[in-house]
Chain A
């Protein structure tokens, strides 16, 4: 199994509070991704990174920001959480082969 961890695994927060989710890899893969998974929508890409300090937006990036200061860490921040951001968040990594390896997910509830 690819070495990917996500923290926290579960979080409950209130509307308007900032939230940061962390993804950590031990595989030294170049690409890292953040997705959200919602019923009826499959997986939707929020942001991805193709190197340290190199990031780009996905299809649902509004309300989210990311940072990658080290190869192994990719942070997703919700500056001011809203109820519509209640979801399961998955981090993934990939190398040149395109296959993505997924973390275990973080279940976020915004009340």
Chain B
């Protein structure tokens, strides 16, 4: 079956530091890939996505590139802010069945001033 493996947390950074959260996946075919973010007490919300190989998703200074050759979708941000503190989830949806999404376990990011 499909699987998503995320870098284990928690991750603690100082403000303006560079962020990388690793994500690798196992799936047949060409799934769509997503990063979702969850703030305390809320549901998940889409951060960015990519639907085919070599696509780059970007939003709010975050970026991730769909790498088919390494089955990866690592999340990066050049300069984090305190407001970026949240839990980040990598996920995939098969192109053959939108109902069967798979999520990683989540990575908790804390940014200190």
Interface residue ranges, A against B (CB under 8 Å): 31, 33, 35, 40-45, 48-50, 56, 58, 90, 92, 94, 96, 98-105
B89 touches A43 (CB 8 A): yes
A94 touches B89 (CB 8 A): no
A58 to B105, CA, bound (A): 16
Choose the segment among B11-19, B65-73, B75-83, B94-102 that binds chain A (4+ C-beta atoms closer than 8 Å). B94-102
Please indicate which of the listed interface residues A35, A43, A96, A104 has the most CB atoms of chain B within 10 Å of its own CB.
A43
6 contacts between A and B (CB under 8 A): A33-B101, A45-B102, A48-B99, A98-B49, A100-B46, A101-B46
Q: Is the interface of B mostly helix, strand, loop or mixed?
A: strand
Q: A42-B89, A99-B34 are in contact. Are A104 and B43 (CB under 8 A)?
A: yes
A42 touches B105 (CB 8 A): yes
- A40 CB contacts on chain B under 8 angstroms: 105
Total chain B interface residues with beta-carbon distance under 8 A = 22
CB distance from A49 to the nearest CB of B (A): 8
B103 touches A42 (CB 8 A): yes
A102 touches B45 (CB 8 A): yes
- B58 CB contacts on chain A under 8 angstroms: none
A54 to B89, CA, bound (A): 28
